[in-house]
Amino acid sequence: MRTCIPLILGMHVRLLHLHVLATRVARCTRCASASLSSCYSCCGVARVRILKHEAQSAHAAARALKAGALVALPTDTVYGFSGLVPHAVPDLICLKARGCTETEGNRREGYPFIALLADPQDVVVYTGTRLPAEFRALWPGPYTFVLRMQDGATQAFRCPADLWLRSVIRAVGGAIFSTSANRHGEPPLQDAQDIDHIFGKHLALTVDAGPLTGSPSAVIDLTHPVPRVLRAGAAPLPLAGLERRDSPSLPHVGEVCKE
C-alpha cells in the first residue's frame, strides 16, 4: 500500500499539470493586436513537452488548443505548429516570423496555413460540397487541396492519415490550422526536442513522437478547371493531366487562404 501512494500522487500531479497547461492562457501585452497571443515567455503560461504515446497526450493537446494556445504536434508528414481556426492566425504569423519582433507590416504579409480535418466528409461544412471522387480517394493522406469555400474565399484543407492527430481535431470540435514547425524560409524541424528548444517559450505544449523525417504534403489547387500542383510532396501524384505549377510555398493568407 505504501508503494502505491507515491504513484497515485505522481499521477495526480501530472494530471493537474496538464489541466493547468490547457486552461491557464493569458493575453500578451507585447502583442496587443493579436486576438490570442502565443508569447508565453512574457505571459508566463505553463508549458510542457509530453510523449505522443502517453495516455493523456491527445486530451492535453485538445484542451490546450480549445483554450487558445499554440501547440507543436506530430502529423503523418512532419511536425507542425497548430492553433484554432480562425483565431490562431496572428499568433502563427508571429511565431513563423521569429517570435514577436517583426513589424506589423511584415506580419500582414501572410504565411500558408492548412486547415486539418478530422474526417474527409468534414470539408462539406466549409465548402458546401464534397471533393470529386478521384481526389476524395486520396484522403486521409498526405495530400492538401485548395478549395473554394462557401463565402467565395479559398482555403487549403487536408485530412491526415494519423489517427491520433485526427482524434485531437475531433476533440477540438472543428478544423485546426497547421503549418510546418520551422521559421519562415527554413526547413521543417524533425525532432520535438529541437522544436521545444527553439520555440518552446512560445508554445503551451509540444507532443513528442520521436524524429519525423517525412516531407510536407503535396498541394493541389482545385479552384481552376484544370487542377494545379502547387507543391509536390513525398507521396506520388496518382492522377494524370494535372497542371504543374510547383511553388516553394502556398499562396499567402488573404490570397488563397482566408484565415
Which grid coordinates are listed for 251?
Answer: 499562396
Total domains in the fold of the chain: 1
Mean pLDDT of 250-256: 38
Residue 211 lies in a domain: yes
pTM over 0.95: no
**How far apart are alpha carbons 176 and 88 in whole angstroms?**
9
Contacts of 250 (CB under 8 A, 6+ apart): 112, 114, 146, 156, 219, 230, 231, 256, 257
Ordered strands of the 243-244 beta sheet: 48-51, 205-208, 71-74, 79-84, 176-180, 114-116, 154-158, 143-148, 218-221, 228-231, 243-244
Q: Which domain holds residue 212?
A: 4-244
Helix axes 4-23, 57-66, angle to 10 degrees: 30
Mean pLDDT of 152-177: 96
Residue 85 lies in a domain: yes
Q: What's the confidence (pLDDT) of residue 241?
A: 57
Q: What's the confidence (pLDDT) of residue 106?
A: 37
CB count in 10 Å sphere of residue 51: 11
**How far apart are alpha carbons 21 and 117 in whole angstroms?**
24
What percentage of residues in the chain have a pLDDT greater than 70?
68
Residue 19 lies in a domain: yes
| CATH code, 45 | 3.90.870.10
